[in-house]
Amino acid sequence: MRRIGMVSLIGAGPGDPDLLTVKALKRIQNAEVVVYDRLVSQDIMDLVPPKTALYPVGKKPRSHPIPQEEINQLLVDLAKEGKRVARLKGGDPFIFGRGSEEAAELVKAGVSYEVIPGITAAQGCASSLNLPLTHRGLATGLRYVTGHCQKDVPLDLDWASLADPNTTLVIYMGLAAIEEISAKLIEHGMPADMPAAAISKGTTSEERKVFGTLTTIGEQAKNANLPAPCLFMIGDVVGLKQALQVPAAFSGAKGDWADKRPHLEVING
């Protein structure tokens, strides 16, 4: 009897392999085929067993080497061949990840699928900076917004509602348009000195970040030559940077710093 394949739409998180879910890791290790995006880090690809067939279908910013329709068809074809397919996407597959477009095509083709969530870039980057996305008294809400726009087409966002100073704004895909975004937010009433951060390759060994204000962050990101992927966090929560910094004495090498925290010494003592 022919085996029936299926597709797991898997969120691979922002880069650090330790941020994968246990379920994602299990699927990666049991897949016969892995179809993966450019944003899936090499450290995560290193977890794929050597016998697994690999299909890179990554897109670079502003270029689409493999059209989405072909990716959809590839997933359908592989599943119809009876394969267990792990479709690996950066972050979460259903947050600016086109996972739902692929899911819709799988359903249309009569292919079974599941969704395994991943840590989205906003959560990964914020925690890497020891910053919260909400904080009582500073941010009562949170918005994930795309800053991607077609070439020569102005960004069409609801600026008046985005300029709410009580909401943390996280801008995905905003590297090219951050100066335009900042200017629009200020024009619509967001304070020009609102704290802002830019984080490039968050949670990876190549992570870089700059801190500034809504007015300065675009130029700072440009001057620092921050490479993609880059995320912008705008809001009073970014101003907690100093308050939430781990004291230098306790921020030693990754993996053993927790043992040096004073409250742990008390518990252990």
Q: How far is the CB of 161 from ligand SAM (least distance, A)?
A: 21
User: Does 117 sit near ligand SAM (CB under 6 A)?
Assistant: no
Asked if 109 contacts 75 with a C-beta cutoff of 8 angstroms, the reply is no
96 is a site residue for ligand SAM (CB under 6 A): yes
Question: For residues 125 and 186, which CB has a smaller minimum distance to ligand SAM in the complex?
Answer: 125
Name the residue nearer to ligand SAM (CB basis): 83 or 126: 126
SS3 label, residue 25: helix
Q: How far is the CB of 265 from ligand SAM (least distance, A)?
A: 33
Q: Work out whether 203 is an interface residue with ligand SAM (CB under 6 A).
A: yes
Q: Which of 9, 10, 40, 91 binds ligand SAM (CB under 6 A)?
A: 91
Q: Does 202 bind ligand SAM (CB under 6 A)?
A: yes
- Rule CB under 6 A: choose which of 9, 28, 76, 173 binds ligand SAM: 173
Answer whether 34's CB lies under 8 Å from 86's CB.
yes
Q: Where are the alpha helices (DSSP H) in the chain?
A: 22-30, 42-45, 68-80, 99-108, 121-128, 159-162, 178-187, 217-223, 262-268
Is-catalytic flag, 184? no
- The type of residue at 244 is L
Distance CA 239, CA 129 (A): 12
Active-site residue, selected from the candidate residues 6, 43, 45, 59: 59
Which residue bears the tokens 């290790």? 29
Query: Does 230 contact ligand SAM by CB under 6 A?
Result: yes
Indicate if 37 belongs to the active site.
yes
**Which of 89, 164, 173, 184 does the annotation list as catalytic?**
173
CA distance 51 to 48: 8
Q: Is 39 in the site for ligand SAM (CB under 6 A)?
A: yes
Residue number of the CB closest to ligand SAM reads 91
**Is 102 one of the binding residues for ligand SAM (CB under 6 A)?**
no
Q: Which two tokens stand for residue 128?
A: 């890497």
Q: How far apart are CA 77 and CA 92, in angstroms?
A: 23
In whole angstroms, the minimum distance from the beta carbon of 86 to ligand SAM comes to 16
- Encoding tokens for residue 77? 């074809």
Pick the stretch among 20-28, 95-103, 155-163, 189-197 that binds ligand SAM (CB under 6 A).
95-103
**92 catalytic residue (yes or no):** no
How far apart CA 129 and CA 88 sit, in angstroms, is 25
Q: Which is nearest to 15 in space by CA: 45, 41, 38?
A: 41
Tokens of 103: 């899911």
Q: Does 199 bind ligand SAM (CB under 6 A)?
A: yes
- Other CB atoms closer than 10 Å to residue 95's CB: what's the count? 19
Q: Which residue lies nearer to ligand SAM by CB, 64 or 108?
A: 64
Give the residue numbers annotated as catalytic, written as ranges: 37, 59, 173
Residues lying near ligand SAM in the complex (CB under 6 A): 14-15, 39, 89-92, 95-97, 120-121, 125, 172-173, 199-203, 228-231
